[in-house]
Amino acid sequence: MTFEIEVSGQGGGPRTLRVRRAGGEALGYVLADDSQAAYQDLFARLAADFGCRVPLARRPVDFDRPDPRLEPLLTENLGEGVLYGYGDPCVLRDGDRWWMAVTSNDAPESFPLFGSRDLIHWEPAGFAFPSGRKPAWALDGPGSDYWAPEMHRVGDEVWLCFTARRTDGELAIGLARAPSPAGPFSAPDAPLLAGDVIDAHILPDPAGPVLYWKQDSNGHWPGPLSRLLWERPHLIERLFPRAEDQVTAELARTLHAWGETLGPMEQFCLRQLLIEAVTEDLAGFRARLASLRAGAGPLADGILEALTTTVYAQRLSPDGTRLVGERTAVLCNDQPWEAHLIEGMWITEQAGRYWMFYSGNDFSTAQYGVGVAVADHPFGPFVKQPEPFLKSSRDWWGPGHVSVAPGPDGRPRLFLHAFKPGQMGYKVFRALLSAGLVFDDGAVRLEARPLRGVA
């Protein structure tokens, strides 16, 4: 099936698509804006008219059971300037108070901060980087992305590691300092680590702090794949056995040139359907592409390599200004439920072992979840639990990107974000949830340990 597609309109406003398949009538569609929800609506209509995949976020999902272990703490935006809720929440206990920093995407004020004396009642405490005080090396305004902040007490300082886009658009990791979790935070004029890296985590180890991060390889194959399909359309039937995925791939091929004119996150929204076609049968797709490597050209090797997401660890200098020692690969996506990526790591030392909580699969779908791996050393080897530790339930979809902090009783608690049912995607509200953690008999489990009613 060959398509002809004309796109009119620019920017984040409405755009019109005229879509025609060979020998057929042109049909018109309106892409309401540049949001992920608008793209999901567009592809759902195209699925009805042309037989491509229906986006996962537009398919009926039946999670018939709640998860009583999860306690919602914040379910609405709290305070002016908090636009998208509590994605990637980092909770830090500092003395008799708890503090939290969360993702802000491209909001004018970066990384909302909150304080609490009981984990139930939270008060806004400003922003790590208010307007006019962003890091010199990072983008600001539309197209910027301020993701996954983490606060840690290191000596007399609070360190905040975070992800942002450099002025050239590449994702990098920064490290800012403040005298307290309330700030003010000061960031150097250069990132700590560059090279399309995200989701920094610091383990304040007695032998010296360790930095963990994810190589953002999952962002490096959808574009080359759509280009490969554009250049070699005869590969579509061999790479995608299912008819609906062949139509999906043909749409992605036809939209490739237009997609190259979009910003990074809008490219992700445009190519989401192609990503889902690949990751539903990731092992099979890998095998098919590997078998076609000779006829697919140099793009195939890069795509195959990027389908593996790797988490690295390396020691930081005592003052946190540079990385020292050897870089070690400590984890990668190798479980079917993780699909094409793992991310959002948090390591806690409990019962003499190092427990890594991480997220896997696509954050904007109900397939996203939390996994656990354990090691006897900060650099591994980490052994994974074979099944997800936490996944979607009736009340909360796409749980992920956790942090661990002591609760009021001193026992460890898990903090995480999740979407309200049916409301998922980039820059969509995410709630703050919590549950108790129990480490015993060489294992970890969630426990319903409500905060409400606790003195």
Does 316 lie in the same domain as 224? no
In tens digits, the chain (455 residues) has pLDDT values of 689 999 998 777 899 999 999 888 999 999 999 999 999 999 999 999 999 999 999 998 888 899 999 999 999 999 888 999 999 999 999 999 999 999 999 999 999 999 999 999 999 999 999 999 999 999 998 889 999 999 999 999 999 999 999 999 999 999 999 999 999 999 999 999 999 999 999 999 888 999 999 999 999 999 999 999 999 999 999 999 999 999 999 999 999 999 999 999 999 999 999 999 999 999 999 999 999 998 888 999 999 999 999 999 999 999 999 999 999 999 999 999 999 999 999 999 999 999 999 999 999 999 999 999 999 999 999 999 989 999 999 999 999 999 999 999 999 999 999 999 999 999 999 999 999 999 988 899 999 999 986 54
Asked whether 199 and 213 are in contact (CB, 8 A), the reply is: yes
Tokens of 159: 């360190």
Does 150 lie in the same domain as 22? no
Does 186 lie in the same domain as 78? yes
How far is it, in rounded angstroms, from Cα 210 to Cα 228? 39
How far is it, in rounded angstroms, from Cα 88 to Cα 344? 8
- Among 256, 285, 306, residue at a domain's last position: 306
Residue 159 domain-assigned (yes or no): yes
Residue 453 domain-assigned (yes or no): no
Residue 190 domain-assigned (yes or no): yes
Does 225 lie in the same domain as 129? no
Tell me which residue of 215, 169, 156, 162 sits closest to 191, measured CA to CA: 162
How far is it, in rounded angstroms, from Cα 300 to Cα 392? 34
For 339-382, how does the pLDDT look when each residue is reduced to its tens digit (9 = 90+)?
Answer: 999 999 999 999 999 999 999 999 999 999 999 999 999 999 99
Does 198 lie in the same domain as 51? no
Does 120 lie in the same domain as 172? yes
Q: Which residues pair with 431 in a beta bridge?
A: 418
pTM comes to: 0.95
DSSP string across 43-66:
HHHHHHHH--PPPGGGS-------
Does 295 lie in the same domain as 152? no
Residue 454 domain-assigned (yes or no): no
For 381-434, how does the pLDDT look when each residue is reduced to its tens digit (9 = 90+)?
Answer: 999 998 999 999 999 999 999 999 999 999 999 999 999 999 999 999 999 999
Does 315 lie in the same domain as 299? no
Does 315 lie in the same domain as 199? yes
325: alpha, beta or left? (left if phi > 0; alpha if psi -120 to 50): left
- Among 306, 340, 358, residue at a domain's last position: 306
Number of domains in the chain: 2
CATH number of the domain to which 386 belongs? 2.115.10.20
Tell me which residue of 308, 307, 108, 320 sits closest to 200, measured CA to CA: 320
- Among 306, 339, 357, residue at a domain's last position: 306
Does 52 lie in the same domain as 88? no
Does 325 lie in the same domain as 176? yes
Residue 231 domain-assigned (yes or no): yes
Residue 21 domain-assigned (yes or no): yes
Does 131 lie in the same domain as 92? yes
Give the range of the structural domain holding residue 243, as residue numbers without chain letter: 3-61+219-306
Location of structure tokens 């004018």: 108
Asked whether 299 and 220 are in contact (CB, 8 A), the reply is: no
